[in-house]
Amino acid sequence: MCYNRAPSRRSFATLLAAGAGMTALAACTPDNRLASPTAAPSASGLPTPTPTMATTTAVPSAASDPPPSSAPPSKAPPSGVLSQQFSLSDPTSRWVIVNKHRPLTPLEFVPPDLVQPRVQLAVSGEASMLNSTTAGAAEKLFAAAASAGVTMTLASGYRSFQTQTATYNGYVDTRGQASADTASARPGFSEHQTGWAFDIGDGGGACSFEPCFADQPAAVWAKANAYKYGFVVRYPWMLNEITGYYYEPWHLRYIGVEAATDMAKRGIGTLEEYFGLEAAPGYP
């Protein structure tokens, strides 16, 4: 099901200003994930990762309960206090972990419940879609931001396997695979394909998908408050050797309020650490 929502005049303007979807489509890649020492805002609400969590070496997670080496666990016991556990492998699970070691299964997965959230959109088409659970949570997140006087836009949501393939192959054709891997996730390896993740903008675009976005009100507010609505900043500052991606203050991932709050309280920066999975700095 889809919401048949006519974009507001402002979102049309934003859409035009953003040059439609390609800006967001090509973004959220390592080319735009260049870390900048000045782009790291101090913690504003959320605990900072503990020193053991802030490692930048490519060692496996030091979190407790490492998975069996033979296969990833289907469920994780991150704290023993959460009321519900979810699969880490099923792409319809809010805890599915997709990184450079863990492609989607099936590789061409399509969320069965894509909808367009009722939020300020900076994109159209598939990129304006999220799975229904994430869309509902995003509406609460965006409304709370607006109540705090913070403008937040949906800059890039769902991205199909086919779109990711076209994007990735375009890089391979022009730059070769090694360079392509620094510029685009391989098809089947993008969290955007799950429907559980999206990128935010601030309606202005000056720092869209750039390190300086970390200092914009939308990113500052999201970093401090997103967990209350079930989201984590998926690729935190200086944890790229664990996540495989440089800091993306715009990329939010839904895991549910309980788990996101637990992560925030415990100061755990990455889903890999939280769920006791190995670091995924690059493709095997």
Supply the minimum distance, in Å, between the C-beta of residue 29 and Zn ion.
9
Task: Using the minimum distance from each CB to Zn ion, give the nearer residue, 26 or 58.
Answer: 26
Task: Using the minimum distance from each CB to Zn ion, give the nearer residue, 150 or 154.
Answer: 154
Supply the minimum distance, in Å, between the C-beta of residue 148 and Zn ion.
23
Task: Using the minimum distance from each CB to Zn ion, give the nearer residue, 209 or 274.
Answer: 209
Question: Chain centroid to CA 18: how far?
Answer: 20
**8-state DSSP, 207:** T
Helix axis angle, 132-147 relative to 217-225, nearest 10°?
120
14: nearest Cα among 121, 104, 118, 111: 121
Q: How is 67-109 classified by DSSP, letter by letter? A: PPSSS--SB--SSS--S---BSS-TTSTT---BTTB--SSTT-
Task: Using the minimum distance from each CB to Zn ion, give the nearer residue, 28 or 119.
Answer: 28
Say if residues 131 and 84 touch (Cβ distance below 8 Å): no
Task: Using the minimum distance from each CB to Zn ion, give the nearer residue, 199 or 202.
Answer: 199
Residues contacting 9, CB < 8 A, separation 6+: none
Tell me how far apart the alpha carbons of residues 224 and 216 are, in angstroms, rounded to a whole number.
13
Supply the minimum distance, in Å, between the C-beta of residue 96 and Zn ion.
15
Tell me how far apart the alpha carbons of residues 121 and 93 are, in angstroms, rounded to a whole number.
25
| Torsion sign over Cα 42, 48, 51, 55 | negative
Supply the minimum distance, in Å, between the C-beta of residue 111 and Zn ion.
15
Supply the minimum distance, in Å, between the C-beta of residue 82 and Zn ion.
25
Question: Chain centroid to CA 153: how far?
Answer: 15
Residues that bind Zn ion (CB under 5 A): 28, 199, 251
Tell me how far apart the alpha carbons of residues 153 and 138 are, in angstroms, rounded to a whole number.
10
SS3 99: strand
Task: Using the minimum distance from each CB to Zn ion, give the nearer residue, 63 or 207.
Answer: 207
Supply the minimum distance, in Å, between the C-beta of residue 25 and Zn ion.
10
Task: Using the minimum distance from each CB to Zn ion, give the nearer residue, 101 or 251.
Answer: 251
Supply the minimum distance, in Å, between the C-beta of residue 264 and Zn ion.
20
